[in-house]
Structure 1
Amino acid sequence: MNRLIMFHVERKIKTLFQRGFFLFLLFGVLQSCVTPRQAIDVSDYILVENGKQIYGKEEGLTAFIFQNNPKKVIFAEFLGNKYNLMKFTDIEYWITLEGMKFKVFFYENDEVNKYFDTTDYVASNVVSDSAVVGSKVKFLAISVVNEYNEDCLSDSSLFKNIVINYLKDLKDEYNNL
Protein backbone atom coordinates (compact mmCIF):
# COMPACT_ATOMS: atom_id res chain seq x y z
CA MET A 1 0.00 0.00 0.00
CA ASN A 2 2.81 2.40 0.79
CA ARG A 3 4.17 1.70 -2.60
CA LEU A 4 1.02 2.85 -4.30
CA ILE A 5 0.89 6.05 -2.33
CA MET A 6 4.55 6.62 -2.94
CA PHE A 7 4.11 6.03 -6.67
CA HIS A 8 1.17 8.40 -6.72
CA VAL A 9 3.13 11.14 -4.89
CA GLU A 10 6.15 10.73 -7.14
CA ARG A 11 3.96 11.05 -10.20
CA LYS A 12 2.48 14.35 -8.94
CA ILE A 13 5.93 15.68 -8.18
CA LYS A 14 7.12 14.64 -11.63
CA THR A 15 4.11 16.32 -13.28
CA LEU A 16 4.61 19.50 -11.26
CA PHE A 17 8.29 19.50 -12.16
CA GLN A 18 7.47 19.12 -15.87
CA ARG A 19 4.90 21.93 -15.73
CA GLY A 20 7.28 24.19 -13.83
CA PHE A 21 10.08 23.51 -16.27
CA PHE A 22 7.73 24.16 -19.20
CA LEU A 23 6.60 27.49 -17.68
CA PHE A 24 10.21 28.45 -16.95
CA LEU A 25 11.19 27.61 -20.53
CA LEU A 26 8.19 29.52 -21.94
CA PHE A 27 9.02 32.56 -19.80
CA GLY A 28 12.65 32.44 -20.93
CA VAL A 29 11.71 32.29 -24.61
CA LEU A 30 9.22 35.14 -24.31
CA GLN A 31 11.69 37.28 -22.36
CA SER A 32 14.43 36.76 -24.94
CA CYS A 33 12.12 37.82 -27.78
CA VAL A 34 11.28 41.12 -26.16
CA THR A 35 14.11 43.62 -26.54
CA PRO A 36 13.88 46.82 -24.57
CA ARG A 37 13.85 49.98 -26.68
CA GLN A 38 15.37 53.20 -25.59
CA ALA A 39 13.09 56.19 -26.09
CA ILE A 40 14.68 59.22 -27.75
CA ASP A 41 13.51 62.55 -26.39
CA VAL A 42 12.89 65.11 -29.13
CA SER A 43 11.80 67.96 -26.87
CA ASP A 44 14.11 70.39 -28.71
CA TYR A 45 15.67 68.73 -31.78
CA ILE A 46 17.95 65.89 -32.82
CA LEU A 47 20.31 65.44 -35.76
CA VAL A 48 19.91 62.15 -37.62
CA GLU A 49 22.07 60.91 -40.49
CA ASN A 50 21.08 59.08 -43.69
CA GLY A 51 18.30 61.32 -44.91
CA LYS A 52 17.65 62.44 -48.49
CA GLN A 53 20.32 61.73 -51.03
CA ILE A 54 21.49 64.47 -53.32
CA TYR A 55 23.27 64.44 -56.63
CA GLY A 56 26.97 63.67 -56.33
CA LYS A 57 26.86 62.22 -52.80
CA GLU A 58 26.65 58.56 -51.82
CA GLU A 59 25.51 59.00 -48.23
CA GLY A 60 22.26 60.66 -47.24
CA LEU A 61 22.02 64.10 -45.70
CA THR A 62 21.84 64.76 -41.98
CA ALA A 63 18.41 65.93 -40.91
CA PHE A 64 17.33 68.36 -38.21
CA ILE A 65 14.30 66.62 -36.65
CA PHE A 66 11.93 68.39 -34.28
CA GLN A 67 8.39 68.07 -32.98
CA ASN A 68 5.46 69.36 -34.95
CA ASN A 69 3.05 71.69 -33.18
CA PRO A 70 -0.42 70.45 -34.15
CA LYS A 71 -2.01 73.60 -32.68
CA LYS A 72 -0.34 75.69 -35.41
CA VAL A 73 -0.78 75.87 -39.18
CA ILE A 74 0.87 73.17 -41.27
CA PHE A 75 4.64 73.73 -41.31
CA ALA A 76 4.82 73.56 -45.13
CA GLU A 77 2.23 76.34 -45.28
CA PHE A 78 4.26 78.35 -42.76
CA LEU A 79 7.38 78.00 -44.95
CA GLY A 80 5.42 78.82 -48.09
CA ASN A 81 4.09 82.03 -46.57
CA LYS A 82 7.39 83.05 -44.97
CA TYR A 83 9.51 82.57 -48.11
CA ASN A 84 6.82 83.34 -50.74
CA LEU A 85 7.00 79.85 -52.20
CA MET A 86 4.42 78.99 -54.82
CA LYS A 87 3.86 75.44 -53.56
CA PHE A 88 3.43 73.51 -50.34
CA THR A 89 4.93 70.20 -51.52
CA ASP A 90 8.51 69.30 -52.43
CA ILE A 91 9.71 72.37 -50.57
CA GLU A 92 13.26 73.48 -51.37
CA TYR A 93 14.44 77.07 -51.10
CA TRP A 94 17.64 79.10 -50.93
CA ILE A 95 18.63 81.31 -48.00
CA THR A 96 21.63 83.50 -47.28
CA LEU A 97 23.26 83.28 -43.86
CA GLU A 98 26.31 85.37 -43.01
CA GLY A 99 26.95 86.05 -46.70
CA MET A 100 26.81 82.37 -47.74
CA LYS A 101 24.07 80.62 -49.73
CA PHE A 102 22.35 77.49 -48.42
CA LYS A 103 19.63 75.29 -49.83
CA VAL A 104 16.99 74.04 -47.38
CA PHE A 105 15.10 70.78 -47.97
CA PHE A 106 11.87 70.16 -46.05
CA TYR A 107 10.87 66.50 -45.70
CA GLU A 108 7.23 65.64 -46.29
CA ASN A 109 5.70 63.14 -43.87
CA ASP A 110 6.17 60.21 -46.27
CA GLU A 111 9.85 61.08 -46.61
CA VAL A 112 10.31 61.32 -42.83
CA ASN A 113 8.87 57.81 -42.52
CA LYS A 114 10.98 56.56 -45.45
CA TYR A 115 14.34 57.79 -44.19
CA PHE A 116 13.96 57.74 -40.40
CA ASP A 117 12.51 55.33 -37.86
CA THR A 118 10.56 57.68 -35.60
CA THR A 119 8.92 54.90 -33.57
CA ASP A 120 11.51 55.36 -30.81
CA TYR A 121 11.03 59.13 -30.65
CA VAL A 122 8.96 60.60 -27.83
CA ALA A 123 6.63 63.50 -28.65
CA SER A 124 5.77 65.62 -25.63
CA ASN A 125 3.29 67.98 -27.28
CA VAL A 126 0.45 65.54 -27.90
CA VAL A 127 -2.96 67.23 -28.16
CA SER A 128 -6.50 65.95 -28.52
CA ASP A 129 -8.03 65.64 -31.99
CA SER A 130 -10.35 68.57 -31.33
CA ALA A 131 -7.38 70.89 -30.66
CA VAL A 132 -5.55 70.04 -33.91
CA VAL A 133 -5.42 73.03 -36.26
CA GLY A 134 -2.67 71.96 -38.65
CA SER A 135 -1.25 68.50 -39.15
CA LYS A 136 -1.28 65.44 -36.88
CA VAL A 137 2.28 64.63 -37.97
CA LYS A 138 4.45 64.19 -34.87
CA PHE A 139 7.89 65.04 -36.27
CA LEU A 140 9.26 67.35 -38.96
CA ALA A 141 12.65 67.14 -40.67
CA ILE A 142 14.84 69.58 -42.57
CA SER A 143 18.23 69.14 -44.28
CA VAL A 144 20.54 71.89 -45.52
CA VAL A 145 23.35 71.96 -48.09
CA ASN A 146 25.61 74.78 -49.20
CA GLU A 147 26.09 75.89 -52.80
CA TYR A 148 28.62 73.05 -53.30
CA ASN A 149 26.12 70.36 -52.17
CA GLU A 150 27.97 69.76 -48.90
CA ASP A 151 25.87 68.53 -45.96
CA CYS A 152 25.82 71.50 -43.58
CA LEU A 153 24.48 69.50 -40.61
CA SER A 154 27.15 66.79 -40.66
CA ASP A 155 29.67 66.73 -37.83
CA SER A 156 32.50 67.66 -40.21
CA SER A 157 30.77 70.76 -41.62
CA LEU A 158 32.16 74.19 -40.81
CA PHE A 159 28.65 75.62 -41.28
CA LYS A 160 26.94 73.34 -38.75
CA ASN A 161 26.55 75.95 -35.99
CA ILE A 162 25.33 78.66 -38.37
CA VAL A 163 22.72 76.35 -39.88
CA ILE A 164 21.58 74.92 -36.53
CA ASN A 165 21.05 78.44 -35.19
CA TYR A 166 18.97 79.29 -38.26
CA LEU A 167 16.88 76.11 -37.90
CA LYS A 168 16.34 76.65 -34.17
CA ASP A 169 15.17 80.21 -34.88
CA LEU A 170 12.87 78.94 -37.63
CA LYS A 171 11.41 76.29 -35.29
CA ASP A 172 10.91 78.86 -32.52
CA GLU A 173 9.26 81.30 -34.93
CA TYR A 174 6.86 78.56 -36.03
CA ASN A 175 6.04 77.57 -32.45
CA ASN A 176 5.45 81.21 -31.43
CA LEU A 177 2.97 82.05 -34.21
Structure 2
Amino acid sequence: MSLYIIGFSLAWFLIINGKPKQPMRITILTLIAILIFQSCVPLRIAPNIDDYKISKGKRFKRSLSKRQMFIFDDPKEAEAFYNFVNIKFQLDHLAVYDDIPFKIDEQQYFFAWYEVEIPNKTLNLAPMLVHLAVGAALGDNDPLENYDSGNEIVRNGNWYIAIEVYNDLESDCLTDSSVFRESVLKYLRDLKKEYLATYNYNETVFKN
Protein backbone atom coordinates (compact mmCIF):
# COMPACT_ATOMS: atom_id res chain seq x y z
CA MET A 1 0.00 0.00 0.00
CA SER A 2 2.96 2.35 0.63
CA LEU A 3 3.76 2.12 -3.10
CA TYR A 4 0.36 3.56 -3.93
CA ILE A 5 0.89 6.45 -1.53
CA ILE A 6 4.22 7.14 -3.23
CA GLY A 7 2.57 6.93 -6.63
CA PHE A 8 -0.14 9.42 -5.80
CA SER A 9 2.45 11.71 -4.19
CA LEU A 10 4.46 11.60 -7.40
CA ALA A 11 1.36 12.32 -9.43
CA TRP A 12 0.58 15.40 -7.37
CA PHE A 13 4.23 16.47 -7.66
CA LEU A 14 3.92 16.37 -11.45
CA ILE A 15 0.67 18.30 -11.42
CA ILE A 16 1.71 21.01 -8.98
CA ASN A 17 5.33 21.56 -10.01
CA GLY A 18 4.95 21.12 -13.74
CA LYS A 19 7.83 19.82 -15.83
CA PRO A 20 10.62 18.49 -13.56
CA LYS A 21 14.30 18.51 -14.39
CA GLN A 22 15.60 15.62 -16.49
CA PRO A 23 17.11 13.45 -13.65
CA MET A 24 13.98 13.90 -11.51
CA ARG A 25 11.74 13.11 -14.48
CA ILE A 26 13.60 9.83 -15.11
CA THR A 27 13.26 8.88 -11.44
CA ILE A 28 9.56 9.68 -11.40
CA LEU A 29 8.85 7.76 -14.61
CA THR A 30 10.78 4.76 -13.29
CA LEU A 31 8.78 4.68 -10.07
CA ILE A 32 5.51 5.08 -11.94
CA ALA A 33 6.51 2.19 -14.24
CA ILE A 34 7.06 0.02 -11.18
CA LEU A 35 3.66 1.03 -9.81
CA ILE A 36 1.94 0.08 -13.06
CA PHE A 37 2.92 -3.54 -12.50
CA GLN A 38 1.43 -3.43 -9.00
CA SER A 39 -1.58 -1.31 -9.83
CA CYS A 40 -4.53 -3.69 -9.32
CA VAL A 41 -6.03 -3.27 -5.86
CA PRO A 42 -8.55 -6.01 -4.94
CA LEU A 43 -11.78 -4.45 -3.68
CA ARG A 44 -13.75 -7.70 -3.43
CA ILE A 45 -12.67 -11.32 -3.96
CA ALA A 46 -15.38 -13.88 -4.75
CA PRO A 47 -15.47 -17.01 -2.54
CA ASN A 48 -13.41 -19.97 -3.69
CA ILE A 49 -15.38 -23.13 -2.88
CA ASP A 50 -13.43 -26.37 -3.35
CA ASP A 51 -16.40 -28.75 -3.04
CA TYR A 52 -19.44 -27.15 -1.42
CA LYS A 53 -20.33 -25.06 1.60
CA ILE A 54 -23.36 -24.72 3.85
CA SER A 55 -24.14 -21.10 4.59
CA LYS A 56 -27.10 -18.91 5.42
CA GLY A 57 -28.22 -17.62 2.03
CA LYS A 58 -28.40 -13.96 2.97
CA ARG A 59 -24.87 -14.13 4.37
CA PHE A 60 -23.57 -15.42 1.05
CA LYS A 61 -25.60 -12.98 -1.09
CA ARG A 62 -28.03 -10.40 0.25
CA SER A 63 -30.71 -11.23 -2.31
CA LEU A 64 -31.01 -14.83 -1.02
CA SER A 65 -33.28 -16.03 1.76
CA LYS A 66 -32.27 -16.62 5.39
CA ARG A 67 -32.41 -20.40 5.00
CA GLN A 68 -29.27 -22.50 5.13
CA MET A 69 -28.11 -23.31 1.63
CA PHE A 70 -25.98 -25.87 -0.14
CA ILE A 71 -23.64 -23.78 -2.33
CA PHE A 72 -21.10 -24.81 -4.94
CA ASP A 73 -19.16 -23.34 -7.87
CA ASP A 74 -20.89 -23.63 -11.24
CA PRO A 75 -18.24 -23.94 -13.97
CA LYS A 76 -20.78 -24.57 -16.75
CA GLU A 77 -22.53 -22.29 -19.20
CA ALA A 78 -25.59 -20.20 -18.31
CA GLU A 79 -28.81 -22.21 -17.89
CA ALA A 80 -26.93 -25.52 -17.64
CA PHE A 81 -28.32 -26.24 -14.17
CA TYR A 82 -31.78 -25.15 -15.32
CA ASN A 83 -31.68 -27.70 -18.14
CA PHE A 84 -30.33 -30.37 -15.81
CA VAL A 85 -33.09 -29.85 -13.24
CA ASN A 86 -35.80 -29.52 -15.88
CA ILE A 87 -34.95 -32.86 -17.51
CA LYS A 88 -33.97 -34.82 -14.40
CA PHE A 89 -37.18 -33.98 -12.57
CA GLN A 90 -39.34 -33.99 -15.74
CA LEU A 91 -40.70 -30.51 -15.10
CA ASP A 92 -41.48 -29.57 -18.71
CA HIS A 93 -40.24 -26.01 -18.01
CA LEU A 94 -42.84 -25.51 -15.26
CA ALA A 95 -41.74 -24.40 -11.76
CA VAL A 96 -38.10 -25.21 -12.47
CA TYR A 97 -36.78 -22.89 -9.76
CA ASP A 98 -39.09 -23.46 -6.78
CA ASP A 99 -40.88 -26.29 -4.96
CA ILE A 100 -39.15 -29.05 -6.92
CA PRO A 101 -40.24 -32.35 -5.33
CA PHE A 102 -37.98 -35.26 -4.50
CA LYS A 103 -37.99 -38.17 -2.05
CA ILE A 104 -35.46 -39.73 0.29
CA ASP A 105 -36.54 -43.02 1.88
CA GLU A 106 -40.17 -42.24 1.02
CA GLN A 107 -39.99 -38.88 2.80
CA GLN A 108 -41.19 -36.01 0.59
CA TYR A 109 -38.98 -32.94 0.24
CA PHE A 110 -38.84 -29.84 -1.94
CA PHE A 111 -35.98 -27.68 -3.02
CA ALA A 112 -35.49 -24.26 -4.59
CA TRP A 113 -32.31 -23.15 -6.29
CA TYR A 114 -30.66 -19.92 -7.33
CA GLU A 115 -27.96 -19.04 -9.85
CA VAL A 116 -25.75 -16.51 -8.07
CA GLU A 117 -23.06 -14.25 -9.49
CA ILE A 118 -20.40 -12.73 -7.26
CA PRO A 119 -17.80 -10.85 -9.33
CA ASN A 120 -14.23 -10.22 -8.33
CA LYS A 121 -13.83 -6.48 -8.16
CA THR A 122 -10.48 -4.75 -8.55
CA LEU A 123 -9.33 -1.17 -8.85
CA ASN A 124 -7.01 -0.90 -11.84
CA LEU A 125 -4.77 2.15 -11.53
CA ALA A 126 -2.67 1.32 -14.59
CA PRO A 127 -4.58 3.54 -17.09
CA MET A 128 -4.23 6.60 -14.92
CA LEU A 129 -0.55 5.90 -14.17
CA VAL A 130 0.21 5.38 -17.85
CA HIS A 131 -1.53 8.66 -18.63
CA LEU A 132 0.50 10.43 -15.96
CA ALA A 133 3.74 8.88 -17.21
CA VAL A 134 3.07 9.95 -20.80
CA GLY A 135 2.09 13.43 -19.65
CA ALA A 136 5.26 13.73 -17.58
CA ALA A 137 7.40 12.56 -20.48
CA LEU A 138 5.82 15.21 -22.72
CA GLY A 139 6.17 17.90 -20.09
CA ASP A 140 2.40 18.26 -19.66
CA ASN A 141 1.72 20.62 -16.74
CA ASP A 142 -1.78 19.21 -16.18
CA PRO A 143 -1.74 15.52 -17.21
CA LEU A 144 -5.12 14.76 -15.62
CA GLU A 145 -6.98 17.46 -17.56
CA ASN A 146 -7.79 15.19 -20.49
CA TYR A 147 -7.87 11.91 -18.57
CA ASP A 148 -11.08 9.95 -19.14
CA SER A 149 -11.84 8.30 -15.82
CA GLY A 150 -14.42 5.61 -15.21
CA ASN A 151 -12.57 2.52 -16.48
CA GLU A 152 -10.66 1.77 -13.30
CA ILE A 153 -13.10 -0.76 -11.85
CA VAL A 154 -12.63 -4.24 -13.34
CA ARG A 155 -15.17 -7.04 -12.74
CA ASN A 156 -14.76 -10.76 -13.39
CA GLY A 157 -17.84 -12.89 -12.79
CA ASN A 158 -17.95 -16.04 -10.63
CA TRP A 159 -21.10 -18.17 -10.69
CA TYR A 160 -22.53 -20.40 -7.98
CA ILE A 161 -25.55 -22.63 -7.46
CA ALA A 162 -27.33 -22.22 -4.11
CA ILE A 163 -29.95 -24.78 -3.05
CA GLU A 164 -32.38 -24.68 -0.12
CA VAL A 165 -34.41 -27.70 1.02
CA TYR A 166 -37.64 -27.90 3.01
CA ASN A 167 -40.60 -30.21 3.62
CA ASP A 168 -43.95 -30.23 5.41
CA LEU A 169 -42.27 -30.85 8.77
CA GLU A 170 -39.36 -28.41 8.62
CA SER A 171 -38.99 -25.13 6.78
CA ASP A 172 -35.20 -25.55 6.59
CA CYS A 173 -33.75 -29.05 6.32
CA LEU A 174 -30.12 -27.89 6.31
CA THR A 175 -29.94 -26.35 9.76
CA ASP A 176 -27.70 -28.05 12.31
CA SER A 177 -30.74 -29.00 14.34
CA SER A 178 -32.66 -30.60 11.47
CA VAL A 179 -33.27 -34.34 11.81
CA PHE A 180 -33.15 -34.57 8.02
CA ARG A 181 -29.85 -32.73 7.54
CA GLU A 182 -27.49 -35.66 6.95
CA SER A 183 -29.73 -37.50 4.51
CA VAL A 184 -30.46 -34.26 2.62
CA LEU A 185 -26.75 -33.41 2.47
CA LYS A 186 -25.96 -36.80 0.97
CA TYR A 187 -28.68 -36.31 -1.63
CA LEU A 188 -27.37 -32.86 -2.57
CA ARG A 189 -23.78 -34.07 -2.79
CA ASP A 190 -24.90 -36.78 -5.21
CA LEU A 191 -27.01 -34.28 -7.15
CA LYS A 192 -24.03 -31.94 -7.52
CA LYS A 193 -21.77 -34.78 -8.62
CA GLU A 194 -24.33 -35.92 -11.21
CA TYR A 195 -24.77 -32.39 -12.56
CA LEU A 196 -21.04 -31.75 -12.94
CA ALA A 197 -20.49 -35.13 -14.61
CA THR A 198 -23.36 -34.74 -17.09
CA TYR A 199 -23.02 -32.79 -20.33
CA ASN A 200 -25.69 -34.04 -22.71
CA TYR A 201 -28.90 -33.80 -20.71
CA ASN A 202 -31.24 -34.63 -23.57
CA GLU A 203 -29.69 -38.06 -24.11
CA THR A 204 -29.31 -39.05 -20.47
CA VAL A 205 -31.86 -41.12 -18.57
CA PHE A 206 -32.17 -39.68 -15.08
CA LYS A 207 -33.43 -41.50 -12.04
CA ASN A 208 -35.25 -39.39 -9.51
TM-score normalised per structure 1: 0.56
Letter in 1 for 2:67: L
Cα distance in 2, alignment partners of residues 36 and 69 from structure 1 = 23
Whether 1:164 aligns to 2:205 is no
Contact (CA 8 Å) 1:78, 1:174: kept in 2 or not?
A: yes
Whether 1:102 aligns to 2:109 is yes
How many angstroms does 1:35 deviate by?
Answer: 9.8
- Give the counterpart of 2:88 among 70, 82, 90: 82
Which residue does 1:126 correspond to in 2?
A: none
Gaps of 5+ in 2: 1-8, 10-40, 59-63, 121-156, 199-208
CA change 1:36–1:75 in 2 (3 A) is: closer
Cα distance in 2, alignment partners of residues 82 and 163 from structure 1 = 17
Whether 1:174 aligns to 2:195 is yes
Gaps of 5+ in 1: 1-22, 24-33, 54-59, 121-135
Cα distance in 1, alignment partners of residues 79 and 196 from structure 2 = 10
Cα distance in 1, alignment partners of residues 44 and 107 from structure 2 = 41
CA change 1:38–1:152 in 2 (3 A) is: same
Cα distance in 2, alignment partners of residues 139 and 100 from structure 1 = 28
Contact (CA 8 Å) 1:48, 1:62: kept in 2 or not?
A: yes
Cα distance in 2, alignment partners of residues 168 and 152 from structure 1 = 14
Which residue does 2:68 correspond to in 1?
A: 62
Cα distance in 2, alignment partners of residues 46 and 175 from structure 1 = 16
How many angstroms does 1:69 deviate by?
Answer: 2.6
Q: Secondary structure at the match of 1:41?
A: coil
TM-score normalised per structure 2: 0.48
| Pairwise CA RMSD | 3.2
Q: Secondary structure at the match of 2:67?
A: coil
> Following superposition, which runs of at least 4 residues in structure 1 exceed 2 angstroms of deviation?
34-41, 50-53, 88-92
How many angstroms does 1:41 deviate by?
Answer: 3.2
After TM superposition, the structure 1 = structure 2 runs for residues 1-177 of structure 1, keeping only pairs within 5 Å, are 40-51=47-58, 52-53=64-65, 60-70=66-76, 74-87=80-93, 89-107=96-114, 109=115, 112=116, 118=118, 138-177=159-198
